[in-house]
Structures are given as C-alpha cells and as structure tokens.
Structure 1
Amino acid sequence: MFDFDIARYQPQWLNGRDAVTRQHGRRLGALRGRTLTRVWVAWDLKDDEWFCDCPVLLDFEGEQVEINHYRFDDIALTWATIDPHRPVRWPGFDLAWRPERLAELRALRGLTLQSVELLEWTGDDVAQGSVDVSFVFHTGRVTVFTDLGASR
C-alpha cells in the first residue's frame, strides 16, 4: 500500500464496523463536544480539485483523526500522524494539503461535534461491509465514505 511519502503515516487496515469500533470507538467517542477546527484534504494543484485517494484529516481542537479507504472495504484511522504542513506525494501528481477547500466543509468549521457514527454498507454488492465515518453536528454532518477505494 502506498504511504504518500508521509513520514510516520502507517495505516492499519481494518474491515467491518466491529473491528473499527474495537480499535477506535473509544477515541472517536471522546471527540464528542469538541469543536471542528480544520479539515484538510489533499489538493491536486494542476487540476485544482480534491485528490480523494489520500487520507482526510479532521482536527477537533488539536485531536486530529485521519481517515482513508482502500479497495472496497478497507478503512484506516490514524491519529495525529500526518503533518499537513509537510509535502504529500503521489507519482504523476502535484499535491498539497489544503484546509476547507470545499464549501460544505467550511460551513462546519467552528461547530461542536454532537456524535460520531460508524455506518456499514449492508447492500448485496462488492461494497458490502464497507465502513464510513460520519461526524454529526447540530446543523449538519460530514461523512468520509469509500468511493471504489477512495475516501470522499
């Protein structure tokens, strides 16, 4: 698996809601009541668009969770391992970390997290068992979900 040439980034891939809950449930739950201060995404500088194959970084008052999907049902959550002020590399692309490049994310900045939901796809297809992480706020939510192996 490609590590984006990110120092200290070593994703541990999990499958299924139970595995994510066992590994990260307590820490995700501890984010409740914290303010969303930043959301970083890898930005393709040439095409001026979100490069969704890289992890999504959500910062809640200094507690940064990093979410990435791989293949159809692999998910990795890491905690404060990625410095968005450092380069991100992918062969053939000119990438950089950018905060709140999407209007929907800017609208959530500064809001207090109400809850975190782990959503598992139960459809009868190749995505069955994939886990998405949804952060719920009083006036909206952001869900990091898999899109054929990329995080959206």
Structure 2
Amino acid sequence: MIRYGIQDYQPQWLRGRDNITGAHARRLASLIGLTLQHLWLVWDLDDDEWFTDAPVLLDFGATQVEIDHQKFDDLSITWNTINPKRAIEDSCFHLAWRPDPLPNLVDLPGRTLRHVELLEWIGGDHDMADGSLAIGFDLAPAWLTVFNAMDENGLEHQPPGPRYRPYRIDS
C-alpha cells in the first residue's frame, strides 16, 4: 500500500500512550539537542494548501521523524523512510512536498529541540477526541504540536494548553 503516492512510506499505526511510548520514546528523546532543518508538508497543488491527510516530516539532519494521524486515535511515527525530494505520484491528487510552507511556522527551522512531550487530549466523556495523542516539540522560544485533527494532521505553534495532559519524554 502506498499512502497518497508517497513512495516507501508504510505507516505503523499505534494506539495508546503506552504503545507509542514503548515503541518510540527512546528515539524521540534522541532528537533532543538536534537542530530542526526543515518542516516538510505535502502541498495540494490544485487547491494551493496544505494536504493535512499526509504525514508531517521533521527533518533534524541525519534523523527525520514522520508523524501521521488517522481516525480518532491512530498515530504513526516512522523514521527516515520518506524522501521529500521524490515526486509524489497519486492518481487522485496533485501533490508535492514543500519545506516550511506555512508562514506561521517559518521561525522553526534553525531552532534546537529542548524537549519532547507526548500529549494526551482531555476532552471528557462526550468528546470524541478524548484520549487522542499529539506530539509536542519545545524549540524555545518556539513550540510545535502535531495533533490529531479528527482523521488528519493538525499543527499548533504554541505551548499546549490545559486540555492536554503532558508526558515528558527524556533521554
């Protein structure tokens, strides 16, 4: 299966904080102290906007983390599998990788990662997103959260608010 024509990308969907921490905490912690080179997003060339269904790539030079959300609680984290310089060949959409394409995120490249947090949404009994997981990157004084925007990816450029329960990932 090729997701949205992205060559060599095979998402590894996980659910639950313990599963994600067990599978990825050590590698996420290894990013601490590295400098973010680029934030790559897939761009819909027909609509001239971010294609939020495709993974978000954080390029730290020798290490690239690829974050993707689907459904209400599926999170995939993969490592160094996507080459954003390769063309995307999707039969339904006209897509391409773009480095740092959103104006509110242009200050992120060049910043050093201070710490990483796994963030659990606290929405309450009637909130379909309750328990969904996001990943927060402290690039002080900047911040980036990649979150589940109800079956797609969302980005926030501010520290998480009180609706998130943070779990700091340390080295």
TM (norm. structure 2) is: 0.84
What is the number of residues matched between the two proteins? 152
Residue number among 128, 135, 144 corresponding to 1:126 in the alignment: 128
Equivalent residue of 1:36, what SS? coil
Match of 1:85? Answer: 85
Which TM-score applies when normalising by structure 1? 0.94
The one-letter code of the counterpart of 1:140 is A
* CA displacement at 1:17 relative to structure 2: 1.5
Using CA pairs below 8 Å that are at least 6 residues apart, which structure has the higher relative contact order? 1
Unaligned runs of 5+ in 1: none
1:81-120 counterparts in 2 under 5 A? 81-120=81-120
Partner residue in 2 for 1:6: 6
Name the SS of the counterpart of 1:41 in structure 2.
Answer: strand
- Alignment check: 8 A CA contact 1:15 1:73 kept: yes
After superposing on structure 2, the runs of 4+ consecutive aligned residues of structure 1 that deviate more than 3 Å are none
Provide the rounded CA distance (Å) in 1 between the counterparts of 2:89 and 2:143.
29
Identity, in percent, stands at 51
Confirm or deny that 1:73 pairs with 2:73: yes
Q: What is the Cα deviation at residue 89 of structure 1?
A: 4.1
Could you say if the C-alpha distance between residues 107 and 131 of structure 1 is closer, same or farther in structure 2, counting changes exceeding 3 Å? same
Structure 1 residue 91: Cα displacement: 4.1
Query: Using a 3 Å threshold, how does the CA distance of structure 1 residues 84 and 33 change in structure 2: closer, same or farther?
Result: same
In the alignment, residue 15 of structure 2 is paired with which amino acid? N
Question: For 1:112, what is the secondary structure of its paired residue?
Answer: coil
Please report the RMSD computed on the Cα atoms of aligned residues, expressed in angstroms: 1.4
